[in-house]
């Protein structure tokens, strides 16, 4: 919910802090970086100090950081608060999943994870609507204050109803592995966020960051295969389904969070929708995801993961294909249908990938598996936001050059066209009006180009589904 509250308020926050679209995107990416870096740590924390204790501390820190984020006066303050919020938000999903998987027998994990996805999808439903309402009628700051009652409720319920697991005081913390993985993730994010602005590998800054990321990843891989108690257990990746499904979750994060970083701005800035209406248009995606997750949980054991993943990829690709061909005057009903189509595919993806990844893993690897799966989602989310915002800026520049190359008072075509008075090519204000129109058209088309880019991601996921080993049962 919190991610979508922030996403729907980004256009308003741009005005409050006087920032550009690529700068304000750090409100999302700072949180996602922190979650990505600290998520793998949750497996060790849960074993050493107890899952219940870790979950309660995470909730308290998350709520406090949310409160300070709502009180931020400039971009730097809110980015720092969001990073701290991500540190404490990292254990929420993986630790909750560990508790769920231990509480349910293995043959019922499909159904349990389907209903667990429902809880996550309620955030998809509530986030855009609540965020739109609070931003429209109060302030974007309330999008962070609203975490206080939810956090207090969660703390009370967990405190009284969740049992603590036995802690393992003998497990030492693998500081080397943690630092290497954290360095890789931070440098990777730096390359993705700063690459477009710095002309990618024409900049020494980007070259150095990419080199450090590559070295850190190389050393991390060597470390986990040679260390006695590594930060991430390498035996996880011997299971083909777990490795492929984790890779799929990265792609899923790119599609889900990359889209949410762009679509509200498109609706509000270029299609004339108020903040609340843009939130309402995104709501059907969460509702469709919720019902699809429960449905998949009941049929996954019968038909296996491959048909569901291929179907999800086709539905998602269809949605992006038609979104890449919309015009500013498209009717809201068509938009809602295309958004709901995405929701169905996300429901298919989420439950299928999570359940298939855990199907063949032994119980002792669950803490590491849940942490790494959550990490995969967050890596995909941070890559999605950064890459699509960078692509948006690149497409804008290309489109602006293509559209503006013929706008000149010396173009003979304009001599024979009946232009409005405010578009007089011989007047300075007319040329300025032409430039403004070109900028708006170039930026709108850039959003459509980003949706076309996501169509190719969907096609890639459809092909990769055939490498997953079927977990269908004969009984």
Please state the separation of Cα 79 from the chain's center in Å: 17
With the C-alpha atoms ordered 469, 35, 458, 298, is the resulting torsion angle positive or negative? positive
Helices (H), 138-239: 142-145, 147-161, 175-194, 204-226
Q: For residues 301 and 202, what is the distance between their CA atoms, to the nearest angstrom?
A: 50
Q: For residues 80 and 379, what is the distance between their CA atoms, to the nearest angstrom?
A: 19
CA atoms within 13 A on the CB side of 28: 36
- Which three-class secondary structure state does DSSP give residue 331? coil
Q: For residues 373 and 358, what is the distance between their CA atoms, to the nearest angstrom?
A: 10
Q: Is 50 left (phi over 0), alpha (psi -120 to 50) or beta?
A: left
- CA-nearest of 31, 183, 6 to 92 is 31
Q: For residues 105 and 88, what is the distance between their CA atoms, to the nearest angstrom?
A: 29
pLDDT of residue 64: 93
Q: For residues 422 and 343, what is the distance between their CA atoms, to the nearest angstrom?
A: 44
- Which three-class secondary structure state does DSSP give residue 330? coil
Q: Please, are residues 341 and 318 in contact by the beta-carbon 8 Å criterion?
A: yes
Q: Please, are residues 41 and 90 in contact by the beta-carbon 8 Å criterion?
A: yes
Q: Where along the chain do its domains lie?
A: 2-174+229-396+442-467, 175-228
Q: For residues 349 and 144, what is the distance between their CA atoms, to the nearest angstrom?
A: 29
- Which three-class secondary structure state does DSSP give residue 320? helix
pLDDT of residue 153: 93
* Structural tokens at position 83: 């990073």
pLDDT of residue 197: 72
Q: For residues 284 and 333, what is the distance between their CA atoms, to the nearest angstrom?
A: 11
Residues in the chain: 475
Q: Which residues of the chain have pLDDT under 70?
A: 21-22, 124, 168-171, 196, 415, 426, 469-475
Q: Compute the radius of gyration of the chain from its Cα atoms.
A: 23
Q: For residues 223 and 230, what is the distance between their CA atoms, to the nearest angstrom?
A: 7
Q: For residues 26 and 82, what is the distance between their CA atoms, to the nearest angstrom?
A: 9
- Mention the CATH class of domain 2-174+229-396+442-467: mainly alpha
CB atoms within 10 A of CB 152: 13
Helices (H), 227-304: 240-270, 275-303
* Structural tokens at position 304: 């296996």
Q: For residues 9 and 329, what is the distance between their CA atoms, to the nearest angstrom?
A: 23
pLDDT of residue 472: 47
Q: Which residue has the tokens 């070295």?
A: 215
Q: What angle do CA 359, 360, 365 make, to 5 degrees?
A: 100
- Which three-class secondary structure state does DSSP give residue 135? helix
The percentage of the chain sitting over the pLDDT mark of 70, rounded to a whole number, equals 96
pLDDT of residue 474: 44
CA-based max dimension of the chain: 84
- Which three-class secondary structure state does DSSP give residue 272? coil
* Structural tokens at position 88: 């404490």
Instruction: Kindly report each contact of residues 72-80 with a partner whose C-beta sits within 8 Å and lies 24 or more positions away, as own/partner.
Output: 74/17, 75/17, 75/19, 75/23, 75/24, 75/26, 75/27, 78/13, 78/17, 78/27, 79/26, 79/27, 79/30, 80/30
pLDDT of residue 475: 41
Q: For residues 293 and 350, what is the distance between their CA atoms, to the nearest angstrom?
A: 7
Cβ partners under 8 Å of residue 469, min gap 6: 240, 241
pTM greater than the 0.85 cutoff: no
Question: DSSP of 232-243, one letter per residue?
Answer: S-GGGGGSHHHH
């Amino acid at each position: 919910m919190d991610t979508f509250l922030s996403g729907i308020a980004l256009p308003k926050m741009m005005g409050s802090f006087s920032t550009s679209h690529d700068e304000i995107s750090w409100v999302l990416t700072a949180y996602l970086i922190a979650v990505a870096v600290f998520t793998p740590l949750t497996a060790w924390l849960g074993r050493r100090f107890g899952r219940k204790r870790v979950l309660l501390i995470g909730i308290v820190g998350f709520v406090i950081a949310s409160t300070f984020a709502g009180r931020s006066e400039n971009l730097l303050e809110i980015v720092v608060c969001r990073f701290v919020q991500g540190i404490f938000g990292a254990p929420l999903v993986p630790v909750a999943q560990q508790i769920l998987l231990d509480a349910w027998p293995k043959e019922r994990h499909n159904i349990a994870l389907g209903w667990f996805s429902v809880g996550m999808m309620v955030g998809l439903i509530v986030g855009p609507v609540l965020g739109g309402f609070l931003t429209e009628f109060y302030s974007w700051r309330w999008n962070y204050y609203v975490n206080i009652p939810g956090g207090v409720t969660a703390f009370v319920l967990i405190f009284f109803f969740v049992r603590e697991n036995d802690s393992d005081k003998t497990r030492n913390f693998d500081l080397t592995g943690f630092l290497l993985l954290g360095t890789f993730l931070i440098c990777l994010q730096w390359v993705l966020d700063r690459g477009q602005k710095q002309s990618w590998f024409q900049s020494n800054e980007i070259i150095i960051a990419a080199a450090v990321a590559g070295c850190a990843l190389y050393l991390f891989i060597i470390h986990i295969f040679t260390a006695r108690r590594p930060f991430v257990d390498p035996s996880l990746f011997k299971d083909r389904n777990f490795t492929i499904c984790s890779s799929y979750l990265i792609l899923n994060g790119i599609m889900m969070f990359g889209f949410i970083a762009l679509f509200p701005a498109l609706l509000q800035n270029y299609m004339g929708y108020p903040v609340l209406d843009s939130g309402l248009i995104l709501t059907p995606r969460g509702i469709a995801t919720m019902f699809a997750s429960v449905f998949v949980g009941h049929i996954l054991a019968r038909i296996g993961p491959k048909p569901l993943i291929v179907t999800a990829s086709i539905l998602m690709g269809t949605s992006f294909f038609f979104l890449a061909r919309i015009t500013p005057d498209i009717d809201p009903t068509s938009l809602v249908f295309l958004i709901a189509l995405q929701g169905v595919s996300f429901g298919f993806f989420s439950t299928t990938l999570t359940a298939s990844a855990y199907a063949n893993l032994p119980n002792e690897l669950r803490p590491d598996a849940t942490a790494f799966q959550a990490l995969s989602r967050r890596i995909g989310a941070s890559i999605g936001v950064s890459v699509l915002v960078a692509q948006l800026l690149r497409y804008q520049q290309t489109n602006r050059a293509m559209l503006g190359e013929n706008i000149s008072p010396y173009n003979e075509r304009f001599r024979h066209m009946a232009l409005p008075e405010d578009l007089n090519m011989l007047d300075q204000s007319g040329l300025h009006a032409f430039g403004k129109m070109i900028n708006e058209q170039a930026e709108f088309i850039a959003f459509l180009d980003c949706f076309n880019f996501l169509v190719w991601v969907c096609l890639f996921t459809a092909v990769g589904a055939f490498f997953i080993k079927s977990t269908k049962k004969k009984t």
